[in-house]
Structure 1
Amino acid sequence: MSLKALATKSVQYNNWVVHKYIDWLATKSDEQLNREVISSFPTILKTLHHIWQSQEFWWSYISESHDFDFEKTSSITDKEGVFNAIKNNSQKLADYVETLSEEDLIKNIKIETQWFQCDFSRYEYIQHIILHGTYHRGQIVTMGRNAGITDAPMTDFNFWNIYKD
C-alpha cells in the first residue's frame, strides 16, 4: 500500500469516527457532557473542544497556512459549536489529504513554536492528529461511563475497514 493510500484511508477513518462520536454524543444531555470527572480535561465537552482545537493547530501547519487562531478557537465552547467545528475540521482534513501527492506527504515541514521545535513529514503530523484524537476519544468513553453513558459506538479501525462500504 502506498503512503498516499494509507494517509487517505487514515483520514477517512478519522472522519468517520469523529462523526460517529458526535452523532452519539449529540443524543446526550448537557448535564452529562459537562459533568466533571477526573481526566486530562474535566468534561466530555472540554475534551472534544481540545481534540478540535488541536486538530486546528496541526491543520495550520499541515496545510502550511499558519493561520491558527487560539483566541478564535477558544471562543467556541457551546455544544453545537464544538460539534460542528470538529466535524468540519475532520472533513477538511480528509478532503485535503485526497489532493496530496506522495511527494506532498513525505515533505518535511519545520515547526517552531514557543513550546517545541520539530521537522517531520506532513504524513507524520497527519498521523499525530489521528492518534491524538484516538487517545482522547478513549478517555471520552471512560468519562462517559462516569457520567452514566454506557452506549459508546463501535469505532475500531477493523470494524470500519470491514463494514465501511
Structure 2
Amino acid sequence: MSRQTQDLYGYHKWANQRIFKHLKSLPEGIDEKEVQSVFPSIAEVLSHIYRVDQIWFSVMKGEAFDETMEVVARVQKEIKGKNLIQIEEMYQNVSEAFQAFLEDQDNLDKIIECAHPEFGRLETPLSQLVQHVVNHGTYHRGNITAMLRQMGYAGVPTDYIFYLYELAQVN
C-alpha cells in the first residue's frame, strides 16, 4: 500500500506541475483574469490547492487543530498577491517537503487522528488522507480546465493514466 500512496502523491505533484507549465505557455496574466466560475480566477484556484495541501500536510504531521489554524493564517498571508511563478515555487517547496515526509514514514497506513471543532474526531489511515489531497487537487484542476475553456484556451491533460504512461516511458 505504501508504494501506491507515494505514487498517488507523485501523480498529484506531476499534475500540478503540468498545470503550471501549461499556464506559463499561455498569455501572461491569464491566471489573474476574472471569470464567472467557482473561483474568480485561476490564481485563486492555485492558491486554494496550495493552502489545502498545507493544511493536510500539517494534519498528517500530527499538528493539533490550533497549530493547523496557525498554518492556515500564515499561508493566507504568504500567498496573498503572489504571481504565477511565485505560487509555483511555493507549491514546489511544499510538495517536496510533503514527498520527503511520505518517504520517511515507516507505515503509510498508520492511523492519524483529525480533530475538528465542527466535524468532530476522525481516525483514518495516513494513506486515506493522501488520497483526499489527491482527489481535492484533481477536482480543482478540473475547475482550471473549465475556466481556461471559458476564456477560449485548451486545458492540459492531467488524468492519472497519462501520468502512468509518462512513468512507463521514463522507466
Query: How far apart, CA to CA, are the structure 2 residues paired with 1:30 and 1:105?
Result: 40
**Partner of residue 163, structure 1:** 166
- Counterpart of 1:70 (choices 69, 72, 97) is 72
The alignment partner of 1:26 has SS state of helix
- The amino acid that maps onto 2:15 is V
Aligned residues: 160
Shift of 1:84: 1.4
- Counterpart of 1:93 (choices 98, 107, 113) is 98
**Partner of residue 126, structure 1:** 130
Task: Specify every segment of 5 or more residues in structure 2 that has no aligned partner in the other structure, as ranges.
Answer: none
The alignment partner of 1:105 has SS state of coil
Instruction: Summarize deviations over 1:14-40 as a string: whole Å, max 9, x none.
Output: 111111111111233454212222332
Shift of 1:113: 2.3
Instruction: Summarize deviations over 1:141-161 as a string: whole Å, max 9, x none.
Output: 0001112322x2222211211
Query: How far apart, CA to CA, are the structure 1 residues paired with 2:36 and 2:118?
Result: 25
If the length of structure 2 is used for normalisation, what is the TM-score?
0.84
If the length of structure 1 is used for normalisation, what is the TM-score?
0.87
The alignment partner of 2:12 has SS state of helix
Give 1:103-122 correspondences, 5 Å limit: 104-117=107-120, 118-122=122-126
Query: How far apart, CA to CA, are the structure 2 residues paired with 1:163 and 1:135?
Result: 21
Aligned 8 A contact 1:18 1:90 in 2 = no
Pick closer, same or farther for the CA change 1:53–1:5 going to 2, 3 Å: same
The alignment partner of 2:124 has SS state of strand
Give 1:6-155 correspondences, 5 Å limit: 6-66=4-64, 67-68=67-68, 69-75=71-77, 76-77=79-80, 78-79=82-83, 80-101=85-106, 104-117=107-120, 118-150=122-154, 152-155=155-158
Query: How far apart, CA to CA, are the structure 2 residues paired with 1:130 and 1:107?
Result: 18
Task: Specify every segment of 5 or more residues in structure 1 that has no aligned partner in the other structure, as ranges.
Answer: none
